[in-house]
Amino acid sequence: MKAAVLREFKCPLALEEVDRPVPGADEVLIQVEACGACHSDVHVADGDWTQFARIVKRPVIPGHEIAGRVVEKGASDFAIGDRVGVPWLHWTCGECEFCREGSENLCIRQKITGVTVDGGYAEFVKAPASHVVKIPDRLSATEAAPLFCAGLTVYRALKHAGRLSGQRLAVFGTGGLGHLAIQIGRSFGAEVIAIDVSEEKLELARSVGATQALNANTADVVKEFRRQAGAHVALVSTAAKVAYDTAFSCLRPTGTLLVVGLPAENISFPPILMSAKEVRIQATAVGTRQDLKEVLALAAAGKLRCQTVERPLSQVNEVLDQLRNGQVTGRIVLRPS
């Protein structure tokens, strides 16, 4: 089969013919129809996260926003032809403390799609039948694929942020993750204010429900939020460190900063201000299978839609370069054929 393979960090992916996966008794083989291109794929390919890079299998086929159809199966309840998807969380043990507590996304023995096992930048991928999720009939493969990471991650972040109804939610970075966060925040009843440095992305933010859109290059964002008494919740979906610095300053006392975008460098905040404002900083590790089912249901109900552009798998390196350079407004979805 055709696949894009990562052999060395900081090198272009190699488009190769590789062996088609053979599913085991507890697995399904999926013909990939669409695979979202995520900024995490860039970090994996570039070896940006030093500690994380140690677990990357090489060679590895990246890609963890996978949508397709079951074409082979072992002993599972899935039928040939079922439309399913594979997320970042490839497999969890179900036995560790975190799995038992309902936080399988923190499983200490987890396998990660496109990182520790081969992912969806290919014509076929195999996955445990227990961890693939059915795609609602109302969603196409292209519509569904980005929800398996981008949609899932911001959904879990907002789901665990506390009460949002009637609250001011600031979304910093209104691209692939941010425009989904705006829609999810609106579905939770929040007043959403979007912040970015791109007018094109701010226009997207307005089109999906942001009540206000601020360009950080031309507006005094901190002053504007102080005028409004601050944000109850600030979600940072960009990997720009400066966005975290600004978001922290925009919080009202007792506000919550949601860490979603992952800069390559560390972020830090003044302890005296954290204490004085009693702010809460909360991170999110993608999401569980239950979270994913809720996200897909939200999209199937017409309350969440990802702006996508389709590109052939053969253009994968150009797509990753676009992500590196911040040139993607919504989400790019790679199609193997």
pLDDT digit string, tens, across residues 144-190: 999 999 999 999 999 999 999 999 999 999 999 999 999 999 999 99
Instruction: For residues 83 and 96, state if they share a domain.
Output: yes
Do both 320 and 298 map to the same domain? Answer: yes
Phi-psi sector, 81: left (phi>0), alpha (psi -120 to 50), beta: left
Length of the chain equals 337
Nearest to 160 by CA among 259, 250, 64: 259
Identify the pLDDT of residue 264. Answer: 74
Are residue 9 and residue 132 in the same domain, yes or no?
A: yes
**Which pair of structure tokens corresponds to residue 6?**
């990562």
* pLDDT tens, residue by residue, 217-274: 999 999 999 999 999 999 999 988 999 999 999 999 999 999 999 887 888 999 999 9
| Shared-domain flag, residues 131 and 166 | no
Residues 177 and 232 in one domain: yes
Which CATH number goes with the domain that contains 185?
Answer: 3.40.50.720
| DSSP state letter for 60 | B
- The domain boundary residue, chosen from 248, 268, 283: 283
Residues 143 and 8 in one domain: yes
Q: Which two tokens stand for residue 16?
A: 């190769």
Q: Span 124-128, mean pLDDT?
A: 98
12 and 82 in a single domain? The answer is: yes
What average pLDDT is seen over the chain?
95
Per the structure, how many domains does the chain have?
2
| Mean per-residue pLDDT, 301-322 | 97
Mean pLDDT confidence for 302-316: 97
Residue 127 sits in the same domain as residue 37: yes
Q: Which domain holds residue 105?
A: 2-149+287-335
84 & 138 share domain: yes
Looking up tokens 């998807």 gives: 85
Structure confidence at residue 53 (pLDDT): 67
Residues 129 and 208 reside in one and the same domain: no
Tens digit of each residue's pLDDT (9 = 90 or more) over 23-44: 999 999 999 999 999 989 999 9
Model pLDDT, residue 63: 98
Are the C-beta atoms of residues 51 and 262 closer than 8 Å to each other?
Answer: no
Distance CA 222, CA 335 (A): 41
pLDDT at 329: 86
pLDDT greater at residue 316 or residue 55: 316
The number of beta carbons lying within 10 Å of the beta carbon of residue 271 is 8
266 and 318 share a domain? no
Could you give the CA distance from residue 299 to residue 164 in angstroms, rounded to a whole number? 19
- Model confidence over 48-85: pLDDT tens digits? 866 666 789 999 999 999 999 999 998 788 999 999 99
| Average pLDDT of the residues in 99-106 | 96
The 3-state DSSP class for residue 59 equals coil
Q: Which two tokens stand for residue 222?
A: 């901190």
Work out the average pLDDT over 202-229.
96
DSSP string covering 160-225: TS---TT-EEEEE--STTHHHHHHHHHHTT-EEEEEES-HHHHHHHHHTT-SEEEETTTS-HHHHH
pTM of this structure: 0.94
Domain with residue 111: its CATH number is 3.90.180.10
pLDDT of residue 265: 81
- Do 317 and 328 belong to one domain? yes
